[in-house]
């Protein structure tokens, strides 16, 4: 397998001139100059350079079609990807292939579709790694570093918006280190005004030396796009290839320490994050952290968070620590400064496994995240995430949000128990489900019967999946 490396070629005279034009701010002025004299020549030189960069990058940007199953419907999702290696590694967004049953990739200049295998995904960075099996070498992209990007620098976004292959847009780096208020997302994004429309997700952001500096993730209105730094993406790819991603974990929920709270608590100019809750048996609980504590320092790093989106910076500090590593936390408790030593834990599973039943309901394992998000009273059981309308489960009265605790005489502590219990009940015409609904226990008799047909049950895709406004598949 080809080794992934960043390109470090020295800039030629044309690139040096392009940098000088952009840095001096004359590039936009050149566009308005009359078509004669030195200004016109410089403009044509810059324009030709951008054309050459686009022509160099487009062959490495693939078109992706995924058939995903969302509850009881199959939908087609499209996106883009970047060829990482000549032997068939492709990087794209996790949200492009999430819950995909089938993924096909079209390489520019090659008519046949390639069936892709998903080697791994990471929801917290929105990165996925695919494997193709090409008949011949693929044109791999060249990679740079987002660390070298500067605000105002010109960049190209390449992708397949709305299925239009090889689309290139030109813009600038609008900002770096952007945090988005999306649960569990750890990225500090590059913001750009180069267009990132539906179908461009997974495509590259490229500097004017032709190096990939980011993986485009999502757009939020015209002229506002967010890109994953390529350094983050390649770190995730390396972890997937080694067998998995391990991140640090404290076991707390947080809110920002805004100025009003700081004044109310009498904390003066202190900055930090406020601990809302502490998970049982977590590293935070063992270290003695309590709700109401204000974390002001993580090791030698000052913690600052005045808005919800600022919490992402602290979360990345924790996630980037090694499990087993010991870190000193400086906190404020009742206005007094204290220091706690905490041993970083290993982050629990973020994405729960899911199981679909033949009687019309799906369940998920109860992860730490699911337990918190749904405010469950127990971590035991299997969480019902979906009930198909008109199915035996629906007719019996099962509801999304119920927690299965028992099937017939078998207790259900986790997803493995649920699978065994359902296998044992397979031969029964009806079976009893004991479920927890809030503070109540429900006894629900599920009677097997003819499963009603419903839109989307066919193998053919029913149309594009419905996603939130931040998604740009």
What is the set of active-site residues?
Answer: 95, 126, 201
Render each residue's pLDDT in the chain as its tens digit; 473 residues.
444 444 444 444 444 444 444 444 444 444 444 455 566 677 788 888 889 999 999 999 999 999 998 888 899 999 999 999 999 999 999 999 999 999 999 999 887 899 999 999 999 999 999 999 999 999 999 999 999 899 999 999 999 887 777 889 999 999 998 888 787 788 889 999 998 888 889 999 999 999 999 999 988 777 789 999 999 999 999 999 998 899 999 999 999 999 999 998 888 889 999 999 999 899 999 999 999 999 999 999 999 999 888 898 999 999 999 999 999 999 999 989 999 999 999 999 888 999 999 999 999 999 988 998 898 989 999 999 999 999 999 999 999 999 999 999 999 999 999 999 999 999 999 999 999 999 999 999 999 974 444 444 444 443 333 333 334 44
Strand partners, 279: none
Q: Rounded to two decimals, what is the model's pTM? A: 0.80
SS3 331: strand
Amino acid 28: pLDDT: 46
Quick check: is 458 in a domain? Answer: no
Q: Coil, strand or helix: which one is 412? A: coil
Q: Say which CATH number the domain at 306 has.
A: 2.30.42.10
Sign of CA dihedral 76, 185, 177, 467: positive
Task: Indicate whether 153 belongs to any domain.
Answer: yes
- Domain contains 461: no
What is the model's pLDDT at position 197? 82
Q: Give me the sign of the Cα torsion angle 352, 355, 356, 360.
A: negative
State which of 346, 375, 396 marks the end of a domain: 346
Residues 180 and 31 in one domain: no
Give me the pLDDT at residue 26, please: 42
**In the numeric block, which tokens belong to residue 58?**
């487009």
Give, as one character, the DSSP assignment of residue 85.
S
For residue 323, give Cα distances in angstroms to 192, 248, 296, 320, 406: 34, 5, 21, 9, 35
What does the alpha-carbon distance between residue 155 and residue 159 come to, in Å, rounded to a whole number? 13
* Beta carbons of 408 and 431 less than 8 angstroms apart: yes
**Same domain? 232 vs 91:** yes
Which one, of 372, 466, 346, 366, lies nearest residue 417 by Cα? Answer: 366
Question: Based on the domain organization, do 313 and 238 belong to the same domain?
Answer: no
DSSP state of 391: S
Q: What is the DSSP letter of 143?
A: B
For 192, the enclosing helix (H) or strand (E) is: strand 189-192
245: its two tokens: 């991603």
Identify the bridge partners of residue 443 per DSSP, sorted by sequence position: 434
Residue 18, C-beta contacts closer than 8 angstroms, at least 6 positions apart? 45, 46, 49, 208
| 466 within domain boundaries | no
Specify the DSSP element, H or E, that contains 318: helix 311-319
Phi and psi angles of residue 5, each rounded to the nearest 5 degrees, phi first: -135, 155
Cα angle value 314/97/393 (rounded, 5°)? 95
Cα separation, 84 vs 310, whole angstroms: 32
Domain of 437 in residue numbering reads as 354-447
Distance CA 10, CA 447 (A): 71
The helix or strand, by DSSP H or E, that contains position 90, with its residue range, turns out to be strand 89-92
CA distance 60 to 81: 8
Q: Give the CATH number for residue 208.
A: 2.40.10.120
Please give the pLDDT value at position 39: 64
Q: Which two tokens stand for residue 230?
A: 């390529």
- The tally of domains found in the chain comes to 4
- CA nearest 79: which of 92, 88, 60, 90? 92
Give domain status of residue 465, yes or no: no
Residues 415 and 281 both lie in one domain: no
Rounded distance between C-alpha atoms, residue 67 and residue 77, angstroms: 6
Task: Name the one residue in this structure whose structure tokens are 């309308």.
Answer: 389
Rounded Cα distance between 472 and 250, Å, is 32
pLDDT of residue 309: 83
Take residue 432 and report the two structure tokens written for it: 């009893």
Same domain, residue pair 334 and 365: no
Instruction: Please indicate, yes or no, whether residues 203 and 88 belong to a single structural domain of this protein.
Output: yes
pLDDT at 40: 67
């Amino acid at each position: 397998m080809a080794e992934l490396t960043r390109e470090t070629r020295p800039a030629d005279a044309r690139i040096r001139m392009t940098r000088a034009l952009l840095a001096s701010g004359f590039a936009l002025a050149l566009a308005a100059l009359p078509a004669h004299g030195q200004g016109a020549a410089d403009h044509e030189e810059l324009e030709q350079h951008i054309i050459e960069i686009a022509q160099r990058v487009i062959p490495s940007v693939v078109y992706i079609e995924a058939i995903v199953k969302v509850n009881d419907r199959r939908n087609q999702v499209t996106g883009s990807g970047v060829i990482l290696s000549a032997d068939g590694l492709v990087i794209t967004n996790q949200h492009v292939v999430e819950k995909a049953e089938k993924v096909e990739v079209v390489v520019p200049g090659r008519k046949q579709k390639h069936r892709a295998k998903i080697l791994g995904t990471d929801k917290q960075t929105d990165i996925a790694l695919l494997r193709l099996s090409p008949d011949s070498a693929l044109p791999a992209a060249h990679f740079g570093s987002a660390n070298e990007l500067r605000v105002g620098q010109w960049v190209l976004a390449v992708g397949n918006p709305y299925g239009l292959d090889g689309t290139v847009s030109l813009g600038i780096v609008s900002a770096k280190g952007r945090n988005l208020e999306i649960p569990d997302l750890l990225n500090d994004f590059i913001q750009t005004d180069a267009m990132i429309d539906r179908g461009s997700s997974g495509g590259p952001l490229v500097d004017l030396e032709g190096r990939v500096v980011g993986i485009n993730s999502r757009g939020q209105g015209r002229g506002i796009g967010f890109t994953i730094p390529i350094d983050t993406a390649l770190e995730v790819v390396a972890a997937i290839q080694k067998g998995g991603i391990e991140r640090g974990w404290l076991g707390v929920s947080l809110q920002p320490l805004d100025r009003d709270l700081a004044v109310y608590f009498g904390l003066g100019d202190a900055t930090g994050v406020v601990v809302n809750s502490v998970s049982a048996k977590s590293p935070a609980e063992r270290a003695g952290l309590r709700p109401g504590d204000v974390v002001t320092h993580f090791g030698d790093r000052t913690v600052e968070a005045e808005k919800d989106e600022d919490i992402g910076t602290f979360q990345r500090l924790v996630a980037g620590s090694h499990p087993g590593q010991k870190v000193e936390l400086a906190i404020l408790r009742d206005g007094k400064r204290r220091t706690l030593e905490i041993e970083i834990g290993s982050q629990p599973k973020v994405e729960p496994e899911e199981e679909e039943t033949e009687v019309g309901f799906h369940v998920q394992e109860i992860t730490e995240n699911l337990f918190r998000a749904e405010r469950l009273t127990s971590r035991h059981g299997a969480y019902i995430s979906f009930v198909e309308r008109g199915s035996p489960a629906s007719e019996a009265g099962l509801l999304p949000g119920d927690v299965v605790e028992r099937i017939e005489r078998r207790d259900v502590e986790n997803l493995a128990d649920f699978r065994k219990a359902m296998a044992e009940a397979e031969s029964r015409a009806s079976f009893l489900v004991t479920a927890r609904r809030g503070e109540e226990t429900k006894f629900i008799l599920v009677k097997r019967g003819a499963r009603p047909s419903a839109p989307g049950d066919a193998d053919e895709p029913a149309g594009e999946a419905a996603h939130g406004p931040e998604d740009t598949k």
